[in-house]
Amino acid sequence: MTRRKEPLRTIEPGKVRMYVCGVTPYDSAHIGHGMSLTSFDVIRRYLEHRGYEVRHIQNFTDIDDKIINRANAENIDPDALTEKFIAEWLEQTRALNALPASHYPRATEEVGPIIEMVQGLVDRGHAYAVDGDVYFRVRSFPGYGKLSHRDLEDLLAGARIEVDERKEDPLDFALWKAAKPGEPSWESPWGPGRPGWHIECSAMSSSYLDGQVDIHGGGADLIFPHHENEIAQSEAYLGVEPFARYWVHNGLVRVGADKMSKSLGNFVRLKEIVDRGLGPAFRLMVLQSHYRAPLTYTEEGLLAAERGLSRLRAAADPSAAAIAIEDGESSPASDLAALADESQRRFHEAMDDDFNAPEALAVLFDLGRAINRARGAGQAPESIEAARVTLVDLAGVLGLDLQEVSDAPFADAAPFIDLLLRVREELRERREWALSDLIRDELGKLEVAVEDTPAGATWSQRRG
């Protein structure tokens, strides 16, 4: 609201009520949704890490024009359509290692409270009904525009859509829409109809978070009109101000110089990334830029993140052996332990400052390097363990699982690859390097990277 960072003071000490605008399940989610999901997941994880109890609500707006149109186009029931995409969303939530929300209310299951709220607004003079529609009377709410910092006259001047003549004022927006023939509808005091776009979030945040929320989140593209309208509805209805204490908006994903969006048709589906097993890399890519800033998406950037991730994974690998090198200047183990504490501190400092994940990640990369250096200097695994555990734990706070084994795509081929490597070991003992290198090179072309270590050859998947 103030467009500034502010210290977090919650309604109830130690507890955070967080509401994040979810998706309208009429199509597959794209990476913009993935970014939002990841950003707020990290915020939630960090708050929990800091000891807060977080009630996290994410809604599904499972009834609106787009859903109806799409369902008609595919000649299926709207419910069938939304079920499908809700299931897909939950699946991708898992694939991106985002914690599930505490509740996932759906607009269609909250029609009662929505009607109640609309009625309340009518009763209070903030809304009026016309031909089965109900509109919010924007001019009745003095604070309108305070989030997006617009004033009413500017909005009028910039209006680009045709004005519905039945509205008292062009700025008024629909709380309830009368049903057209064939559309899903619910009975209401104004006749059969369905909720307008913004009201579901107001109703759901009220009923699941006791009226007022601490953190209300969503993409930056929701600031206006969605969140502005939510504020108007909720504050006018509840008589509580502010309805949300902290508004948190993630930056939008860009493809090249442009924003990625459905309307521009330049979107990348989350599925395409998840199906390739690059979910974790996507998370790292998102975290490498601040949540408020726009994220430039490129395939190259995704693969770069995948490589960065393997670097962290390697440092976190408990089975990585120290490679003894006769180096007099190996630092004592206590230095590494001290560095682990220092990393802990820097990590918290970064995240305490408006969830600066890029900074926090830099700390992890630094710690990883120190661990590798210690191994290179031949330090005993026991003396490295504390730092290693710190690395794994802190990465976990960001939702990065460094110990995850991601050879799944090659699971079926594993026995054969192992066999090839055994043969190759034999060849290497006989110094038949041409042939052993051929095996390594050919496997490499199949994205199987072979590495010879003092403990024997290992392999792993490597992309790009």
Partner RNA sequence: GGCGCCAUAGCCAAGUGGUAAGGCACGGGUCUGCAAAACCCUGAUCGGCGGUUCGAAUCCGCCUGGCGCCUCCA
Residues 425-464 that bind RNA (CB under 7 A): 428, 433, 436-437, 440, 449-453
Residue 337: both structure tokens together: 């332990």
CA nearest neighbour of 23 among 8, 32, 33 = 33
Give dist(CA 392, CA 24) in Å, integer. Answer: 35
Shortest CB 31 distance to RNA, Å: 7
Pick from 139, 307, 345, 422 the residue near RNA by CB under 7 A: 307
Largest CA distance in the chain: 90
Q: Does 391 bind RNA (CB under 7 A)?
A: no
**How many residues belong to the chain?**
464
Task: Please identify, among the stretches 96-104, 135-143, 302-310, 382-390, the one whose residues bind RNA according to the rule CB under 7 A.
Answer: 302-310
Q: State which of positions 313-332 bind RNA (CB under 7 A).
A: 314-315, 323
Q: Which of residues 102 and 372 has its CB atom nearest to RNA in the complex?
A: 372
For residue 201, the one-letter residue type is: C
Q: Does 422 bind RNA (CB under 7 A)?
A: no
Give dist(CA 102, CA 116) in Å, integer. Answer: 24
Q: Does 78 bind RNA (CB under 7 A)?
A: no
Strand spans (E) along 220-356: 244-250, 253-255, 258-259, 295-297
**Strands 448-453, 456-461: pairing kind:** antiparallel
DSSP string, 328-348: TTPPPHHHHHHHHHHHHHHHH
The CA-to-CA distance between both ends of the chain, in Å, stands at 43
Q: Which of residues 102 and 288 has its CB atom nearest to RNA in the complex?
A: 288
Neighbour-count burial of 73, counting CB atoms closer than 10 A to its CB (0-12 exposed, 13-18 middle, 19+ buried): exposed
Pick from 57, 155, 274, 387 the residue near RNA by CB under 7 A: 155
Pick from 149, 166, 345, 422 the residue near RNA by CB under 7 A: 149
Pick from 78, 113, 193, 219 the residue near RNA by CB under 7 A: 219
Shortest CB 329 distance to RNA, Å: 11
Task: Please identify, among the stretches 136-144, 202-210, 268-276, 349-357, the one whose residues bind RNA according to the rule CB under 7 A.
Answer: 349-357
Shortest CB 77 distance to RNA, Å: 21
DSSP letter (8 states) at residue 257: T
Pick from 49, 50, 254, 269 the residue near RNA by CB under 7 A: 254
Q: Does 308 bind RNA (CB under 7 A)?
A: yes
Q: Does 296 bind RNA (CB under 7 A)?
A: yes
Task: Please identify, among the stretches 31-39, 81-89, 104-112, 186-194, the one whose residues bind RNA according to the rule CB under 7 A.
Answer: 31-39
Mapping DSSP to helix (H, G, I), strand (E, B) and coil, where does residue 193 land?
strand
